[in-house]
A = this chain, B = another copy of it.
């Protein structure tokens, strides 16, 4: 029942997928604290959602939890990651070896969970050949070659905003259809290409606005 192939025909809302990632994070916190079983109410509280929401989200993937007992923490992590297809390896490349790129290379190496950077690229001739956390920087012209050779699935963009579209074009021309964009720019891509935007400022805007609304703006 957790074979990802059976999920192809189901429409699972994007919001559910995003909440599942929160559930995994909370469950991993619990596992780290050596908690083996949790019931749905405290789990929901820790995730910041209603317990009915958790039950509804998990129901897309099968039957979980034991009535009167709760969820077995490690089994649920395994079930969710398996259902999401994130319990296998997802080979990635990164384009843009500036400060943000270097941090992400290091951060993702330390917290891989199947999302593994295989090669890194930059268009700056002075960076080509440099070693960064064990990776040699390749020229962006080599992207297609490496994507084909290593079966890369996800491309990460960490360039300055004005170079993000060019980086995206290299990825798309290499056949990449999944892009994680850290650059502060929107990308124009064909419909077959998925882009996830990591936008730090979006979160800061939200904090600032809530702060004003709470009437705490006493600067």
Contacts and interface: CB of A to CB of B under 8 A. Distances in A.
Interface of A: 4, 7-8, 12, 14, 17-18, 20-22, 24-26, 28-29, 32, 46-47, 84-86, 88-91, 99-100, 102-104, 106-108, 111, 113, 115, 151, 153-154, 161-162, 177-180, 184-186, 188, 194, 196-217, 219
A161 B84 CA distance: 23
Contacts of A219: 88-89, 91, 151, 153
Nearest to A92: B204
Contact of A21 (B7, B177, B201): B201
Given A91-B219, A180-B207, 9 more contacts: A22-B202, A24-B205, A32-B161, A46-B186, A100-B107, A115-B201, A154-B211, A180-B200, A196-B207
B153 A186 contact: no
Contact of A84 (B12, B17, B184, B208): B208
Contacts of A115: 201, 204, 208
A210 B191 CA distance: 13
Among A90, A91, A209, the one with the most B-chain Cβ atoms within 10 Å of its Cβ is A209
Contacts of A26: 186
B25 A184 contact: yes
B186 A90 contact: no
A17 B103 contact: no
A112 to B, nearest CB: 10
A209 B100 contact: no
B204 A154 contact: yes
A35 to B, nearest CB: 13
Contacts of A100: 103, 106-107
